[in-house]
Amino acid sequence: MDKNIYKKRRESLKHHLPDGCALIIPGADLQYRNSDSSYALRQESSFYYLSGFCEASSLMVILNSGENISSIVFVPPKDKLKEIWDGYRAGPVGAVEDYFFDQAFENSKIDDLMPELLQGIKRIYYPIGKKAGFDQKVIDWTCSANSKDRHSQSIDIVDGSSMIGNLRLIKDEHEIEIMKRACDISAESFVEVMKAIKPGDNEQLIEAKFLYEFGKRGGRFPAYTPIVAGGENACVLHYIENNKDLNKSDLILVDAGCEYKMYASDITRTFPVGGKFSDEQLAIYKIVLRANKAAIDAVKVGNNIMEPQLISEKIITEGLVELGLLKGEADILHEQGAFKDFYMHKIGHWLGLDVHDVGDYMEDGDFMKFKPGMVTTIEPGIYISSSMDVDDKWKGIGIRIEDDILVTESGNVNLTAKVPSDPAEIEKLMA
Ligand code: GLY
Ligand code: MN
Ligand code: MN
């Protein structure tokens, strides 16, 4: 892996980080599931984006002096015993030699060295409110740096989330290649599981099959806890209990995506446990699919993020009126937001190192316009829980269809098209 990519990303900050300012990015700490049993470390995404470095409790400072941009990293010290138990550590020497930082120090020296590094800086940017205890640390370092020279300007603290988020929003070629592979792995896994599912299977078995299919292809971890929801469980939007048996006559909604080389994929398909859609299931499915397709078509340069949103709302409103689930004029119902009883979430979100990726949704007081290199999900849905005041035949149907869409110069690419969403194709696959 060419570590120069990360160095170049740090250097590109000279166009975004004003002269005389510092950007501080903390890395992830090890997390524990219980007692002293830890999860595998997942590096903090922005820290990874700018370093490729995956050791816990590290911290990066990028300084723009006006003449040049320099990057300093604090990393765990070399430690023979810890390395026997937990594995190799680069240490400060390795961080400079292998990750091309200008300077590196042991992380035990952060509190001592940070005030010196920050002395004379105009402004500190860092992601405010994102890491427990970190805001106070920055305040302490800033106060300490200010007190070193009472006659110099005081240092302002500014949220750096948008600066780094909007850099990450536009994916480079290297990232796009990885995301394509992440999406392929997830799509292939869907196809395998759809072919194998049987009535009576437990949701947990289906989750296990996804994790196996992901892992077999190099995606060791899911990008988020999979949602495996049989029947009405699909109406709980973040259902992750995943422990009920599947009924032949129900649909199953699976929202699952692997993480591959740190990048997320995010797919939802809804399919019949018994391999055949009922008339009611198919009627609702077709509305959601129409919304999915039309919204994807609207993901293109020149449009902003509200266009697929509005298109999906209108198609779902019209469809629900046609089926008698909403009564009245579609235009008026749309204006009133009547669809929100059935379609209560937004059309999608940015996708990248995080499943709900960073990056603003507004720019210059308006909705963000699509630009080449952005990746967004498109995921309309209709959810009819049994507590709703509708004919019984519709109750318990929850459907979402989610794809991952890359914006290109000339339109878009559906990165998850390899898993069918057409109902006839799904039935054929499952036959
Ligand atoms: N898988 C989470 C989402 O679709 O937003
Ligand atoms: Mn999503
Ligand atoms: Mn999803």
SS3 of residue 31 by DSSP: coil
Residue with tokens 């509190």: 111
Query: Is the pLDDT reported for residue 31 higher than 90?
Result: yes
Q: How far is CA 378 from the centre of its chain?
A: 13
Per-residue pLDDT band at 1 (split at 50, 70, 90): low
Average pLDDT, the chain: 97
Q: Whose C-alpha lies nearest to ligand 1, atom 4?
A: 266
Packing angle between helix 173-196 and helix 423-430, nearest 10 degrees?
60
SS3 of residue 64 by DSSP: strand
**354 token code pair:** 């995080």
Task: Give percent of the chain with pLDDT exceeding 90.
Answer: 97
Query: Is the pLDDT reported for residue 410 higher than 80?
Result: yes
Q: How far is the CA of 371 from the centre of ligand 1 (A)?
A: 22
Q: CB of 404 within 8 A of CB of 183?
A: yes
Identify which of 81, 159, 147, 73 has the alpha carbon closest to the alpha carbon of residue 110: 73
Q: CB of 266 within 8 A of CB of 255?
A: yes
Q: What distances in angstroms separate CA 387 from CA 252, 293, 381, 397, one per listed residue? A: 19, 29, 18, 12
Q: What distances in angstroms separate CA 34 from CA 37, 62, 156, one per listed residue? A: 6, 35, 39
Atom of ligand 1 nearest to the CA of 268: 4
CA 200, CA 197: separation in Å to the nearest integer? 9
Atom of ligand 1 nearest to the CA of 227: 1
**Neighbour count for residue 92 (Cβ, 10 Å):** 21
Q: Which CATH number fits domain 170-430: 3.90.230.10, 1.10.3210.10, 3.20.20.190, 3.40.50.9100?
A: 3.90.230.10
**141 token code pair:** 């370092």
Atom of ligand 1 nearest to the CA of 224: 1
Q: CB of 226 within 8 A of CB of 252?
A: no
Of 238, 356, 401, 404, the one to substitute when testing ligand 1's pocket (max ligand atoms within 8 A of C-beta) is 356
pTM: 0.97
Per-residue pLDDT band at 2 (split at 50, 70, 90): confident
Mention every residue, 6+ apart, whose C-beta is less than 8 A from residue 256.
186, 189, 190, 207, 210, 222, 226, 227, 228, 267, 268
- Ligand 1 pocket at CB < 6 A: 224, 255, 266, 349, 355, 379, 402
CA 164, CA 185: separation in Å to the nearest integer? 28
Query: Is the pLDDT reported for residue 149 higher than 80?
Result: no
Q: Mean pLDDT, to the nearest integer, of 289-293?
A: 98
Q: CB of 320 within 8 A of CB of 287?
A: yes
Note the pLDDT of residue 355.
98
For the stretch 218-263, pLDDT in tens is 999 999 999 999 999 999 999 999 999 999 999 999 999 999 999 9
CA 240, CA 258: separation in Å to the nearest integer? 16
Q: How far is the CA of 287 from the centre of ligand 2 (A)?
A: 19
Query: Is the pLDDT reported for residue 44 higher than 70?
Result: yes
Q: How far is the CA of 350 from the centre of ligand 2 (A)?
A: 8
CA 22, CA 230: separation in Å to the nearest integer? 50
Domain borders along the chain are 3-167, 170-430
Note the pLDDT of residue 341.
98
Per-residue pLDDT band at 148 (split at 50, 70, 90): confident
Query: Is the pLDDT reported for residue 338 higher than 70?
Result: yes
Q: Mean pLDDT, to the nearest integer, of 380-409?
A: 98
Note the pLDDT of residue 153.
77
The answer to whether the 3-167 and 170-430 domains have the same CATH topology is no
**341 token code pair:** 């009883």
Identify which of 240, 283, 285, 251 has the alpha carbon closest to the alpha carbon of residue 380: 285
Note the pLDDT of residue 152.
72
CA 312, CA 332: separation in Å to the nearest integer? 15
Atom of ligand 1 nearest to the CA of 349: 5
Q: Mean pLDDT, to the nearest integer, of 329-349?
A: 98
**Rg of the chain, C-alpha, whole Å:** 24
**391 token code pair:** 């004919």
SS3 of residue 38 by DSSP: strand
Task: Give percent of the chain with pLDDT exceeding 70.
Answer: 100
CA 30, CA 244: separation in Å to the nearest integer? 32
Q: How far is the CA of 368 from the centre of ligand 2 (A)?
A: 18
Q: Which positions are annotated as active-site residues?
A: 36, 238, 255, 266, 345, 349, 356, 379, 383, 400, 402
- May I ask the CATH class of domain 3-167? alpha beta
